[in-house]
A and B are shown apart, each in its own frame.
Chain A
Amino acid sequence: DAGVTQSPTHLIKTRGQHVTLRCSPISGHKSVSWYQQVLGQGPQFIFQYYEKEERGRGNFPDRFSARQFPNYSSELNVNALLLGDSALYLCASSLGPVNEQYFGPGTRLTVT
């Protein structure tokens, strides 16, 4: 069975640009969460979506947005990129909002 997949693997953007990251959950999982991880820190919670609705949001500015599609895949959008947005962006899927989460390999975003 396929695990969580994310695309792209790596991405380089310039300050002020916009980026869209994509995630496909494990088949049967209805919840997708997004995290930002910078070197030396644990993943920081950005969003959780369950049944196509936003159910939880971390302390990130409005430049960060996301959505979940009818097939439960998800997109994370970041507008007006800053240098500080450079990080590994992780997507995790789970059966429900409080179940074990399984992570994809991440998208490494570099903002120059």
Chain B
Amino acid sequence: RKEVEQDPGPFNVPEGATVAFNCTYSNSASQSFFWYRQDCRKEPKLLMSVYSSGNEDGRFTAQLNRASQYISLLIRDSKLSDSATYLCVVSTGGFKTIFGAGTRLFVKA
């Protein structure tokens, strides 16, 4: 089993749609959780940290369920500019950061 697993893509959605990405992690000792986005041939950019209480940043909402070892990202009112690969990231207390393989999102007009 992979340490961090994400929904296989790609997701193809129309503009204005709501899309949800899921991610599971295997190490219960994991401490920090993040979502990054990566555009083609560019470096990953931090989208948001994920907290147990959940957090929201504009159209983006992230949730963490420690009991189920599950992280989610919800994007509302999708824009063309949201097209990218979304990476789920988990850091353990052992100073190790694991990226998921990523889920590609295509938003179409």
Residues of chain A touching chain B, judged by Cβ–Cβ distance below 8 Å, are: 33, 35, 40-45, 48, 50, 55-58, 90, 97-106
CB-CB under 8 A from A45, the residues of chain B are 96-99
Once the chains are docked, how many angstroms separate the CA of A102 from the CA of B49?
12
Top 10 A-B pairs, shortest CB-CB distance = A56-B95, A42-B99, A55-B95, A103-B43, A98-B32, A56-B96, A43-B99, A42-B101, A48-B95, A97-B95
Distance in angstroms from A81 CB to nearest chain B CB is 22
Judging by beta carbons under 8 Å apart, are B100 and A48 in contact? no
Residues of chain B touching chain A, judged by Cβ–Cβ distance below 8 Å, are: 31-32, 34, 42-46, 49, 87, 91, 93-102
Given contact pairs A45-B98, A56-B94, A58-B96, A100 touches B46 in the complex (Cβ within 8 A): yes
Judging by beta carbons under 8 Å apart, are B101 and A50 in contact? no
Once the chains are docked, how many angstroms separate the CA of A43 from the CA of B97?
10
* Interface CB pairs A-B, < 8 A, 14: A42-B99, A42-B100, A43-B44, A48-B96, A50-B95, A55-B95, A56-B97, A58-B96, A97-B91, A98-B91, A98-B93, A101-B34, A104-B43, A105-B42
The residue in chain B whose Cβ has the minimal distance to the Cβ of A105 is B43
The residue in chain B whose Cβ has the minimal distance to the Cβ of A49 is B95
